[in-house]
Chain A
Amino acid sequence: MRDLIRFIREVPWEGGEPGGAFADLALRSFRLQCESIPEYGAYARHRGPGPDRVCDWREIPAVPASAFRSHELSARAQTDDAGTVTFETSGTTISLPGRVRLRSTELYEASLARNFARHMLPDQAALHAIIFGPPRAEAPRSSLWFMVDHVARELCPGATWIVEGGNPRWERADEELSRAVSERRPVLLLGTTLLFHAYFARCEREGVRFALPAGSRAMDTGGAKGTRIEVRRADVEAAFARAVAIPPSHLVNEYGMAELGSQFYQDTLLATKERRPARPGFVIPPWVRTRVLDPETMQERPRGAPGLLVHYDLANLEIPLAIQTEDVGARAETRLTLEGRLPEAERRGCSLPFERFLERERMSEGEP
């Protein structure tokens, strides 16, 4: 664990790590996981040559993300379980959500802190957070709201949550945004794309806009594909600019899932800081590898060609580090572009009430 944390904190963002350290750490974690997670051990032996004979990290059998729904895939507790954090993974209409249980969130937090700071706070700004979502206590099984809660506590001087008791309190957002405008104090907005979308639709109806001061920024997570609401990225950017005066250069989309300790961010804000054009896609942090496989043959795709994504994340220690997803995307060096994503609500099992709320909102607008 110590070596993993050190690696996550110290590995350079560009240019690769010295001496195959990723491969070494990945193989060590894999062998450990074969022991500490018996179901995974059985699977790894069934699908590969066995933990002792795997010598390339690419040969580590990736567990299907769906297996979190059918099986226990978290390391068995050796001692007292107090303090264990449980995240729920996405369920489907027929199956129940899966579970990720972490006795220690240290690795998760190390990955989050470094990744978030680089992509959201490259200027080391200390910003009040306005969170378009519930406090952790109201969504204790959501990895997304755990993450946001941690950011608010560790990286922000203060925070306000907009969702309470399962309902968005839009007037609270109005107040916070007005205050930031009048005090000329930049703020950090965090939330799901869908909830921002709902708030901005309300702003539009009521003719309300907030000219947030320069330096304000937002992280939105999840698209809206597959839900009843389709939101194009260009429309999301336009809505942020119109409603809260956050330009596309200060809007960062994030991609994550409960089965991964690490997240992926767009580099828009970092690019602005570095005075260069943003690069397309999401940044794969250097402690994560993503393989893109031909979905027909499961062979590695050439650079830039789309395929199904398999992630190898060193922030996963108490759950398997190699995760096979049903996401389709392409990779160019350390960047990932996604196609056909499922909505965040579905992946993180966090926001059914929001979805219902959004349906009510749309119905009150008279839309189908």
Chain B
Amino acid sequence: MSQGLFDAFYLPPGLAEEAETSVQRFGPAHDSVELRLVTVTPAAIGAWIDALWVARAERLARRPAAEIHRVLERVAQRFLDPGSAPRRSATAWLARIGQFSAPMIERALEDTFRPLVSGGVSRWVASEVGSVAALDAPTRDRKGILRRASGPEWMLQIYAGNVPGLPVWPFYSALAMKTALLAKTSSVEPVLAPLLARTIAEEDADLAACIAVVWWKGGLTELDRAALRDAPAVLAFGGENAIASIAREAHPEARVVLQGPKVSVAYVSSASLTRSGIGGLAARAAYDVALYDQQGCLSPHAIYVERGGEVGPAAFAAALGNALEDLRDGLPRRAPEAEHAARVQLYRAQAHFEEALESRGTRVLTSSRSTDWTLVYEDGARFEPTPAYRTVRVHAVSGAAEVAEALAPAAHYIEAIGVEAKGGERGKLAGTFAATGIPRITALGSLQRPALTGTHGGVHRLLPFLKWSTVELGTATRTRRPSPRKRKRS
């Protein structure tokens, strides 16, 4: 299935026939994949945008939202079916491009598409918009306000390739609000977005007529500019430089959401540190650390562990080391490139240096061979991202206040905190961490499975792009007599 050539783009029929393509090798010379790419020029981008705009007006704008959502849910269902062609194709090609191990890819597809079936899309939309029907016609919301939400005519989305599955919810968000989509894939993961578009095309040609998925080299100014210049909406993921350049090029009136680089952390309360529970707890923490080889913004880099539990923070660190060792085979990683492994080794050497000086009670635990995992234990809270690839710092702390203070200067780098706590302390901890501005507070072990009804980067997925038409023609408004003061003024 992954032999031969992969079409790393999607253009609707009509546009596809006119497009020029070329085949390029992708990945290391000894193990490269052949990708067919469409030749992107400013003129081509302009033509695609025009075509998407027309297709949206004719084939998408007047369709009932619920019907579109059902199509999207059917597509998600196909990606969940292990025997289906799209699922097998996604698994095989994602494995071929070599970023993640096969078990990791299976997990990613499952976690990404599962929330989008069985009414998931409609529930998500309703959670932000109030009701799905409000995307079709003015509808009364809970406060009785009559209003309709409209998505932008089209939207530019720029994906990063750090975690598999990243394009999926953005893709769905555009179509769910009846917005045509021009998507630029990442150069490290050019696979899933075109597959998603092709699967949508198999289910619903009208919907797929409103999608174009292409790749061009980021930083090619004229292409970036052609795509950004008139985009009424932009959703982009990327590094700081890419994000800054998009912010400069976007139209001043465009609705722009930029998701820059972030990491996550975790907190374990003393009450949850019990002898009987330590194994399961460490396994949950290890899973959050190991998934996607810590490349995602939801991967924890630091775990803050309260002193005073039945089991101490040092014992938790030891248990976490064992759990990470178990995942070496259970959820294998892909070997990092030499440059990244060198960074992990430097990090280890630095930790050994601190261990030698015994200034913070530092202890270094590592996998016996290779850079599989690295754990640095120390006293006191502080925050510094690790070089990733399953490198985590465990801090023994006195309580949440100490952690909140340490996180404050870096809060804008933090996407989520995974919390392990018992009963009533959960609410209290959530309050403390919410006050730091961390966008997401969730259970340890669930860091990598964000709810669609939540936010990403502290921003909703649909709301920033919606425009509202509010109807104020209600009888009460029309017949109410003006107040005397108002009359006097007029």
Q: What residues make up the interface of A, taking CB atoms closer than 8 Å to B?
A: 39, 42-43, 45-47, 62-67, 70-71, 94-95, 228, 293, 295-298, 306-308, 324-328, 339-340, 367-368
Contact = CB atoms under 8 A, between A and B. Distances in A.
B459 interface: no
Name which of B219, B353, B354, B371 has the most chain A CB atoms within 10 A of its CB. B353
A95 B248 contact: no
B249 A368 contact: yes
A327 B353 CA distance: 19
Q: Which 3 A-B pairs have the closest CB atoms?
A: A46-B356, A295-B341, A368-B245
Nearest to A368: B245
B338 interface: yes
Interface in B219-252: 219, 221, 224, 241, 245, 248-249
A324 B357 contact: no
A128 B370 CA distance: 51
28 contacts: A47-B352, A47-B356, A64-B349, A64-B353, A65-B346, A66-B347, A66-B349, A71-B353, A94-B410, A293-B345, A296-B370, A296-B371, A297-B369, A307-B342, A308-B342, A308-B346, A324-B345, A324-B346, A326-B342, A326-B343, A326-B345, A328-B342, A339-B339, A340-B338, A368-B219, A368-B224, A368-B248, A368-B249
Given A295-B338, A368-B245, A368-B249, A43 B345 contact: no
A326 B348 CA distance: 11
Nearest to A359: B244
Interface residues of B, number: 31
A306 B338 contact: yes
B249 A43 contact: no
A42 to B, nearest CB: 5
Nearest to A293: B345
Nearest to A306: B338
A298 B356 contact: no
Contacts, number: 87
B377 to A, nearest CB: 16
B221 to A, nearest CB: 6
Name which of B249, B347, B350, B355 has the most chain A CB atoms within 10 A of its CB. B350
B357 A42 contact: yes
A328 B356 CA distance: 26
B354 A70 contact: yes
B293 to A, nearest CB: 14
B371 A67 contact: no
A266 B218 CA distance: 32
A326 B249 contact: no
Contacts of B327: none
Contact of A307 (B338, B347, B385): B338
Given A46-B356, A307-B342, 13 more contacts: A39-B357, A42-B357, A46-B355, A62-B349, A63-B353, A66-B347, A71-B353, A295-B341, A295-B345, A296-B370, A308-B346, A326-B345, A367-B221
Name which of A306, A328, A367 has the most chain B CB atoms within 10 A of its CB. A328
Nearest to B335: A296
Interface string B330-372: 0000010011011111110110111111000000000001110
B384 interface: yes
Interface in B105-146: none
Given A66-B346, A296-B371, A368-B248, A46 B341 contact: no
A293 B346 CA distance: 12
Nearest to B387: A326
B438 to A, nearest CB: 17
Given A71-B357, A295-B371, A368-B248, A94 B384 contact: yes
A306 B342 CA distance: 11
A39 to B, nearest CB: 6
Nearest to A38: B357
Given A71-B353, A368-B248, A228 B342 contact: no
B303 to A, nearest CB: 18
A65 B343 CA distance: 11
A150 B346 CA distance: 32
Contacts of B371: 295-296
Contacts of B344: 295
A117 B346 CA distance: 33
A340 B221 CA distance: 24
Contacts of A325: 342, 346
Given A296-B335, A368-B249, A327 B356 contact: no
Contacts of A66: 346-347, 349-350
Contacts of A297: 369-370
A233 B2 CA distance: 36
Nearest to A296: B370
Given A324-B346, A368-B248, A340 B353 contact: no
Contact of A46 (B338, B342, B352): B352
B407 to A, nearest CB: 13
Contacts of B345: 293, 295, 298, 308, 324, 326
A64 B357 CA distance: 14
B386 to A, nearest CB: 12
A327 B350 contact: no
Contacts of B338: 295, 306-308, 328, 339-340
